[in-house]
């Protein structure tokens, strides 16, 4: 499959992801109907978004400008190759 290059289609894809997320979260909350679950779901979504931002934008722009990502598996390999898994606080 070729890379998506049309700005309109790229925006459409982003909107569809957002709508899918709203739909899934809405169904989950309608099924459970608990404010604590709603709060925990919102916190989990926010935390995973920040982790994703960290894994790519922060590492690429502030830690290692030579690092170019291809996905979360690639990021895990990057961490492993840099020895982050074996470092301890000094």
Tell me what pLDDT residue 90 has.
47
Tell me what pLDDT residue 24 has.
92
Q: Is 41 exposed, middle or buried (0-12, 13-18, 19+ CB in 10 A)?
A: middle
pLDDT > 90 in the chain, percent: 34
Q: Which residue has the higher pLDDT, 17 or 57?
A: 17
Name residues whose C-beta falls within 8 Å of residue 45's C-beta, 6 or more positions apart in sequence: 21, 25
Domain residue ranges in the chain: 1-33, 36-90
Tell me what pLDDT residue 12 has.
95
Q: What is the mean pLDDT of residues 11-24?
A: 94
Q: What is the mean pLDDT of residues 1-25?
A: 91
DSSP characters for 43-88?
HHHHHHHHHHHIIIIIIIIII-TT-----HHHHHHHHHHHTGGG--
Distance CA 39, CA 45 (A): 10
Q: How confident is the model at residue 84 (pLDDT cuts 50, 70, 90)?
A: low
CB atoms within 10 A of CB 2: 4
């Amino acid at each position: 499959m070729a890379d998506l290059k049309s700005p309109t289609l790229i925006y459409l894809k982003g909107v569809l992801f957002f709508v899918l997320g709203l739909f899934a979260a809405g169904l989950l909350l309608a099924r459970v109907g608990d404010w604590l679950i709603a709060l925990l779901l919102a916190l989990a979504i926010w935390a995973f978004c920040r982790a994703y931002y960290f894994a790519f934008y922060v590492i690429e722009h502030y830690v290692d400008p030579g690092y170019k990502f291809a996905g979360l598996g690639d990021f895990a390999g990057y961490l492993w190759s840099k020895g982050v898994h074996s470092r301890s606080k000094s």
